[in-house]
């Protein structure tokens, strides 16, 4: 065995020992800054959701332009070593294999958030809020279908937290109820991560 083969073999063993695995998944990322890697991919869940309104305290009632984008950003945040690891890939593989179940979990959590926003809005809204009559019939406020007009999945960050062999995935949403901060939901596999 020559020196070049020995070094390549050693490098591969080190990558596996530290949880790295060169793969198509890892190769799709570009390093953004220390510990952050970014990839552009298809939106895996809630593909039809598009936040249409600003319902914040300082909000206007204008409908946003529909961008129609089906791609979004996937980030990996690494601990220490700064690389895309098998833990990140395991989280993504689980998401893709279980996207229907994960969408159900996300929708349930978004609906919980929406009900809080809607009840608070009804309590605090004056009957003469300017522009309310223009949008009140554009959303079925009591229905789960409201989610598709009030939230947009903008990106997912995998890690840095890892449980067992799988990174926690944070789903970042634009929310019409809080246009400044949005909403984050963290999942470990298919469960809400507390």
The whole-angstrom separation of Cα 135 and Cα 176 is 13
The model's pLDDT over 42-67, given as tens digits with 9 standing for 90+, comes to 999 999 888 888 876 555 555 555 55
DSSP letter for 64, please: P
> Hey, what are 192's tokens?
């809400």
The pLDDT of residue 138? 80
Residue 89 has pLDDT above 50, yes or no: yes
Most confident of 22-36, 47-61, 169-183: 169-183
Q: How confident is the model at residue 2 (pLDDT cuts 50, 70, 90)?
A: very low
For helices 86-97 and 99-124, the axis angle rounded to 10 degrees is: 80
The whole-angstrom separation of Cα 127 and Cα 22 is 59
CB 34 within 8 A of CB 82: yes
DSSP letter for 20, please: B
Q: How confident is the model at residue 7 (pLDDT cuts 50, 70, 90)?
A: very low
The pLDDT of residue 17? 41
Residue 157 has pLDDT above 90, yes or no: yes
Mind giving me the DSSP string for 147-187? HHHHEEEEEEEEEEEEETTEEEEEEEEEETTEEEEEEEEEE
Residue tagged 């070049």 (tokens): 4
The pLDDT of residue 123? 79
Phi/psi region, residue 125 (left: phi>0; alpha: psi -120 to 50; beta: rest), is beta
Mind giving me the DSSP string for 65-97? PP----EEEEEEE-SSS-S-BHHHHHHHHHHHH
Q: Tell me the whole-structure pTM to 2 decimals.
A: 0.81
Whole-number percent of the chain with pLDDT over 90: 51
The whole-angstrom separation of Cα 137 and Cα 116 is 20
The model's pLDDT over 122-138, given as tens digits with 9 standing for 90+, comes to 777 666 566 677 677 88
Which residues contact residue 76 at a Cβ distance below 8 angstroms, ignoring those fewer than 6 apart? Answer: 29, 36, 37, 38, 39, 84, 88, 157, 158, 159, 167
Instruction: Name which residue leads in pLDDT, 18 or 33.
Output: 33
The pLDDT of residue 131? 64
Residue 9 has pLDDT above 50, yes or no: no
């Amino acid at each position: 065995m020559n020196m070049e083969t020995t070094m390549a073999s050693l490098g591969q063993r080190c990558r596996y020992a530290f949880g790295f695995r060169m793969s198509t998944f890892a190769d799709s990322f570009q390093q953004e800054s220390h510990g952050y890697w970014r990839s552009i991919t298809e939106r895996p869940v809630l593909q039809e959701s598009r936040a249409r309104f600003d319902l914040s305290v300082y909000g206007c009632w204008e409908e946003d332009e529909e961008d129609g984008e089906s791609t979004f950003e996937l980030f990996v945040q690494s601990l220490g070593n700064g690389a895309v690891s098998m833990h990140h890939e395991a989280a993504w593989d689980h998401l893709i294999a279980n996207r229907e179940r994960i969408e159900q979990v996300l929708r349930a959590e978004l609906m919980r958030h929406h009900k809080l926003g809607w009840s608070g809005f009804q309590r605090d809204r004056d009957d003469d809020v300017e522009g309310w009559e223009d949008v009140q019939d554009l959303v079925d406020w009591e229905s789960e279908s409201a989610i598709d007009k009030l939230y947009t999945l903008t990106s997912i960050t995998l890690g840095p937290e890892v449980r067992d062999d799988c990174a926690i995935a944070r789903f970042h949403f634009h929310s019409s109820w809080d246009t400044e901060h949005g909403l984050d939901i963290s999942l470990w596999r298919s469960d809400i991560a507390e």
